[in-house]
Chains A and B, each alone.
Chain A
């Protein structure tokens, strides 16, 4: 069992260090559970932006200060107490998932990409600036693929206390995973529009669906970035329809785009889903704020990604695996077949693929009787899946070789798993026996 003292200490220190920012910016309502992990993530993101894209970091600080000052005027000292049962439910679900993360976890990395990601974090132990500078000079060790975003190794190195020891970087990766998990669970528990009962049912169902998916358990015990990215994307999907969560959405969007290049695809799809939702007169969120929040979130994420890629380009560095071209339509059939085959692989996914397909289909067939949250998550999943499919069609042939070789699609699906669990949970919470099957209490802000 690895030591968690270091990452927990750094997480606590990050949250405390972010307190002044919290007072200024009011990322989330006071008393909100989500604000602590969100602030820790904001701290890491600020470090990353300051090192990777200093002008953008400066602009972000100015923008946040402006938003914070405006919000302070508008909100005064508004407080929103959080129901005690939500804390209990979060603690119970977190305990189940943390047990899965920590139960007899191997002391060191065991899977291919975990060595690569944690190798970068070890390299960063020589200095966070050195990691960024090395990434831009192509002087990262030649075996570390160049051109990939460096937010994850930078965060892991910070959580590892800049120690190059294997146990320390593994503990740092666990810390980042716990942070992403906390964001996901707290965003679920914080839903101000849902009854306490609905929140508890959703938390329990989402946790049950996730832990009954064997490959999710494998990733919980690994140091891959796909599941943390999935948690961040799912947290963003939950926050996007909520009022007063614009800054949090922007932070999550930027984090997703900085974690992996696929993150930008997810954020863009979420933005499009928000616009589609408003354009289609989706209830209960008729206000245009969703579209505005979604657009702002996409722009923030795209700016982070564009600045990083601009710096890569200026230094003659490219990530050939992620270079997009015109979609190769001849791949549609084989990619579709592979996608279905991977999704219905019962030993890896259990019932998750079937449940997600069933839940999306149920929304498509009976949109009027579907709970609003289920409609929203079904829209997000559908748009996101189409966007990712198109992105895969537009990638180089080498990526298709990965897909055929079985080293790609399950990892992409892993990024969708938390949102799929939310979709299933929103159906179950609406159909739970002691909860009336009505719009009331369905949540995600009525």
Chain B
């Protein structure tokens, strides 16, 4: 499974990038921000202090902005493909559940798939014998196969 897609689902809204991971860009931004603060002490005018603070604020935002605009799987250029992959699993599970009355996950090795499947099953009505869904570790990005009334997604499905 693509690890960054899985990380986006499980941790994407909790932080922008990996914690405690210094990068040259982060270090550079920090130096510029400190420099701007030092300059503001020399200027001693309100306009100068505000300008220096604005520069420092904008500079410190650059490493995080760079991550969310370029590197993450939800970055503008990659968001559509990421969303399409997730939507494919969601729609497949929903179709399967509708066809069998209802469904539930009986085995899962894909943590990031859990909320996606839950979202897909949110409209299904409870029934006496839910059709089983099996999720392998790469289920988020792999295709799903239906056999003997079971939907298997990922490796465990014996693709």
Q: Does B149 contact A (CB under 8 A)?
A: no
Asked whether A143 lies within 8 Å of B87 as measured between CB atoms, the reply is no
Residue-wise, chain A 202-231 has the 8 Å CB interface mask toward B (1 for contact) of 000000110011110111011010000000
CB distance from B98 to the nearest CB of A (A): 11
Question: Chain A contacts of B30 at CB under 8 A?
Answer: 346
Asked whether A123 lies within 8 Å of B123 as measured between CB atoms, the reply is yes
Question: Chain B contacts of A139 at CB under 8 A?
Answer: 126
Q: Of all chain A residues, which has the CB nearest B79?
A: A106
Q: Does A329 contact B (CB under 8 A)?
A: no
- Complex CA gap A349/B15 in Å reads 9
Residue-wise, chain B 124-153 has the 8 Å CB interface mask toward A (1 for contact) of 101000000000000000000000000000
B32-80 interface with A by 8 A CB criterion: 33, 46-47, 49-50, 53-54, 56-58, 60-61, 63-65, 67-68, 73-74, 76-77, 79-80
Question: Chain A contacts of B83 at CB under 8 A?
Answer: 106-108, 110
Q: Does A326 contact B (CB under 8 A)?
A: no
- Complex CA gap A33/B109 in Å reads 51
- Complex CA gap A209/B53 in Å reads 11
Q: Does A164 contact B (CB under 8 A)?
A: yes
Question: Chain A contacts of B58 at CB under 8 A?
Answer: 212
B97-130 interface with A by 8 A CB criterion: 114-116, 118-119, 121-124, 126
CB distance from B95 to the nearest CB of A (A): 13
Q: Does A87 contact B (CB under 8 A)?
A: no
- Complex CA gap A164/B94 in Å reads 12
Asked whether A107 lies within 8 Å of B80 as measured between CB atoms, the reply is yes
With contacts A105-B79, A116-B115, A144-B122 known, is A410 near B14, CB below 8 A? yes
- Complex CA gap A139/B125 in Å reads 10
- Complex CA gap A301/B8 in Å reads 35
Q: Of all chain B residues, which has the CB nearest A167?
A: B87
- Complex CA gap A196/B81 in Å reads 45
CB distance from B65 to the nearest CB of A (A): 5
Interface size on B, residues (CB 8 A): 53
Question: Chain A contacts of B29 at CB under 8 A?
Answer: 346
- Complex CA gap A166/B26 in Å reads 37
Asked whether A214 lies within 8 Å of B67 as measured between CB atoms, the reply is yes
Asked whether A166 lies within 8 Å of B10 as measured between CB atoms, the reply is no
CB distance from A272 to the nearest CB of B (A): 29
CB distance from B6 to the nearest CB of A (A): 11
Asked whether A108 lies within 8 Å of B86 as measured between CB atoms, the reply is yes
- Complex CA gap A218/B12 in Å reads 8
Residue of B87, B116, B123 with most chain A CB atoms under a 10 A cut-off:
B123
Residue of B15, B17, B74 with most chain A CB atoms under a 10 A cut-off:
B15
B-side interface mostly: helix
Asked whether B90 lies within 8 Å of A166 as measured between CB atoms, the reply is yes
Question: Of B10, B64, B67, B87, which contacts A112 at CB under 8 A?
Answer: B10
With contacts A214-B61, A346-B30 known, is A407 near B76, CB below 8 A? no
CB distance from A1 to the nearest CB of B (A): 10
- Complex CA gap A351/B30 in Å reads 10
- Complex CA gap A209/B56 in Å reads 11
With contacts A107-B80, A112-B115 known, is A431 near B46, CB below 8 A? yes
A102-119 interface with B by 8 A CB criterion: 103-116, 118-119
- Complex CA gap A341/B10 in Å reads 20
CB distance from B38 to the nearest CB of A (A): 15
Q: Of all chain B residues, which has the CB nearest A109?
A: B119
Question: Chain A contacts of B115 at CB under 8 A?
Answer: 112-113, 115-116, 119
- Complex CA gap A224/B54 in Å reads 28
With contacts A214-B64, A348-B64, A410-B14 known, is A104 near B119, CB below 8 A? no
With contacts A107-B83, A346-B60, A351-B33 known, is A116 near B14, CB below 8 A? no
Residue of B8, B11, B83 with most chain A CB atoms under a 10 A cut-off:
B83
With contacts A114-B13, A217-B65, A406-B15 known, is A108 near B87, CB below 8 A? yes
Question: Chain A contacts of B67 at CB under 8 A?
Answer: 214, 347
With contacts A107-B87, A224-B13, A431-B46 known, is A351 near B119, CB below 8 A? no
Question: Chain A contacts of B119 at CB under 8 A?
Answer: 109, 115-116, 118-119, 122, 166
Q: Does B159 contact A (CB under 8 A)?
A: no
Given contacts A141-B118, A215-B15, A347-B63, 14 further A-B contacts (CB under 8 A): A108-B86, A110-B73, A111-B12, A114-B13, A115-B115, A141-B124, A144-B118, A164-B122, A218-B16, A222-B13, A347-B64, A348-B64, A355-B53, A432-B50
Shortest Cβ-Cβ A-B pairs, 8 listed: A214-B64, A104-B76, A115-B115, A350-B61, A119-B122, A212-B61, A143-B118, A106-B83
Residues of A whose CB lies within 8 Å of any CB of B are 103-116, 118-120, 122-123, 125-126, 139, 141, 143-144, 164, 166, 208-209, 212-215, 217-219, 221-222, 224, 341, 345-351, 354-355, 406-407, 410-411, 428, 431-433, 437
Chain A to chain B contacts (Cβ below 8 Å), 17 pairs: A104-B80, A109-B86, A110-B79, A119-B119, A164-B123, A213-B64, A345-B19, A346-B60, A347-B16, A347-B26, A348-B16, A351-B57, A355-B57, A406-B11, A411-B14, A431-B46, A437-B46
